[in-house]
Amino acid sequence: MTSPSTRRLLKESTDLHKNPSPYFTASPTSDSNLHDWHFTLVGPPSPSPYAKGLYHGRITFPAAYPLRPPSFRFLTPSARFEVNREICLSISGHHEETWQPAWGVRTALLAIRSEIFSGESKGQVGGMEGSEVLRREYADLSRGWVCHECGGSNEERMREVWENCRMKGVEVDVEGEGEGGGSDDGDTNKNDNKTREENEARDKSQDHDIQDSPAIPTIPNPQLHSESRHEVEISSNSQYNTSDTSQPSESTQRSTTTTISTPPSSSMPSTSVLPNPSPAVQANTRPRSTTTSPANSPWLDRAIICVAFALVIMILRRTIDPDDL
């Protein structure tokens, strides 16, 4: 049967794995000993001299945890805490009266990052004084510091955490993330972002050019109007010619019908987008009006004359008496 302390530590370990933080990582050193953890902590943001630092340390949990607080010590040199010595914190075993059982590993590490690193030791147990230049130098060196028990440098461990955070949709905003041994990944991401920005800028410029370009007027095909005018002129000419050839003796005339049809086009001409044609082109596109006359008009005139002459002879025969001749 597991103790309450073991169940609590298992719960916290599972929570840190499912909900990672880009500012720290912490886990038990082995499955057989859940009361001994190692952590890697990202330094506070600028202008702190620890801004680019990655600090490795150890957490030791008592058997009565969470009723009693854990103890902390740093293994990475920082010029702020002594190496491998328990430090005095309000959340550590040096001040059990201020500890609350609701606190856990996440709360403690975030408190160390935001408050402890931002102040001075002032006689604190496990603390030390150092110049800002020395602390910045240690911060740069801390990225390549290697823990022999955990294996791998601080930066390698944190890069795995940052990648896991991105996969789970957690925003990663850490100073010095693209520096150090993993700069190739950072450069690749920067190049991808640069390429994406260039493509977006090019698309925006193309859209801007299309919007600024003057619209080309759409005019109807003049062939449509010319064909309609041509049909109207043919119809009027046919009526005019029919009226000219009519005579009083319509009963004896042979009616002639002249039909002129325009061959239909195979398909309706499509309306195309064309520039405004010049006056010369418009003049050439107008169809010439053609006046047609009946093909049998000379023969019709001759027939009318012959009929009239025959009528005159018949009238003369009836009016003149043969005896008078």
Active-site residue numbers?
88
Task: Indicate the helix (H) or strand (E) that contains 192.
Answer: helix 183-212
Give me the count of residues in the chain.
325
Cβ atoms of 188 and 239 within 8 Å: the answer is no
Distance set, CA 267 to CA 48, 170, 264, 271 (Å)? 80, 63, 8, 12
Beta partners for residue 30, in sequence order = 33
Distance set, CA 3 to CA 13, 26, 61, 65, 132 (Å)? 16, 21, 13, 10, 45
From CA 122, how far away is CA 168, in angstroms rounded?
A: 41
Structure tokens at 257: 């019908």
Distance set, CA 247 to CA 242, 244, 250, 257, 260 (Å)? 10, 8, 6, 16, 24
Cβ atoms of 54 and 43 within 8 Å: the answer is yes
